[in-house]
Amino acid sequence: MKIVVEIEKIQGVERYCIKHQKIYRIPIENFPGHITFIHLIIDGEISLVDLGLDSKKARDDLRKGLEIINRQFNQRVNLKDIKNIIITHGHPDHFGMLKWEKLAGRKIYIHRWDNVLFGRLNGRVDRVFLGIKKFLKESGVEEKLQEEILNEYHSTKHHFEFNRFDYEVIELEDGMEIINGYRIYHTPGHSPGEICLKVDGFLFLGDHILSDITPHQSSTTYMTGVGLTYYFDSLEKIIRLTKENNLYGLPAHEKAVYPVYKRAEAIKEFHYERLAAILKICNEPKNISQTTREYYRFQPEIFNDPAHPVLDKYLAFQEIAAHVEYLLKKGRVEIVGHGESEENEIIKYRAKRV
């Protein structure tokens, strides 16, 4: 039976209603063209699901969203009324605004796998930097681009910095119930501590399932809990859940998702097609840089346009590396060049002959 959802949009803020439950969706602009939706739940206690990056624009967007909810939707809620902030995963476009002193003192809910990283943010950034440096060398990325990527990564360090001791942090586990019986589903892959959150007929998806793009995947170069093996298992978990329960999906980016399981199945199929394409590319030995450039040959702007964001190049390398890593685990490709005996040796991969 199709779920009945009442949707109303006023001045960019959306209200979704299923029976008695109302969810407000507030768009937060992290930087031009990149929006995180903060979801507001009014259910006895007032809770936010996710935050954006911290900036004057993001803070103003949240204030404006609350004003619209008060003025246009006749719902009395202010910043000081918020009691809980539920973080779907530990990427800064979902928690960066925790730097804002006006949010201090709230309860923060985050899965323990990402909370471990929160507790060691400076160390995490340094370890990730070393991991990226090693990954880029082994992937055969030219030195100039390596330097550009590393410099760009360092320039984002401030997004990770906030005082976690300003908050009461509650670690989440799979199957846990919080606040008013909201249920946690641990869905690692895009991030180690990624969660989906069931609130009555709604399922908050974070970045696990998006309506238009396929969420970014990384190799396990410097972090466990990411990669396609985890991601496929997590997709299956949500497919089973949303086939058994008629839930309406609210991701942190892009449009709402319904039916959720069909979008999850489409994402799986996309990744299977990408794996098949990479296998063909690796008929002859290729490093990650070569494989990535060949795979994205129909999007030449990624590598050929000087104005294209440098971090997009790095994300492209990581995306393809995650797929090559999965094929390696499944015995479909083999290493023919090895990076362990010499620090600067580039690793090459070749599809196994069947």
pLDDT tens digit sequence for 116-153 = 766 555 456 667 788 889 999 999 999 999 999 999 88
Give the residue, 156 or 133, on which the prediction is more confident.
133
Domain assignment of residue 267, yes or no? yes
For the chain, what is the mean pLDDT?
A: 92
pLDDT(270) > 50 = yes
In a domain, 1, yes or no: no
Confidence (pTM): 0.94
With respect to residue 214, please indicate whether it lies within any of the assigned structural domains.
Answer: yes
Name the percent of the chain lying above pLDDT 90: 79
The pLDDT value given to residue 131: 86
Q: What's the structural domain count of the chain?
A: 1
CATH code for the domain of 82: 3.60.15.10
Q: Quick check: is 75 in a domain?
A: yes
Look at the chain and count its residues: 354
**What single-letter amino acid sits at 30?**
N
**β-pairing verdict for 107-111 and 168-172:** parallel
Residue 259 in domain: yes
Q: How confident is the model at residue 305 (pLDDT cuts 50, 70, 90)?
A: confident
Domain region containing 108: 6-351
Residue type for 39, please?
Answer: H
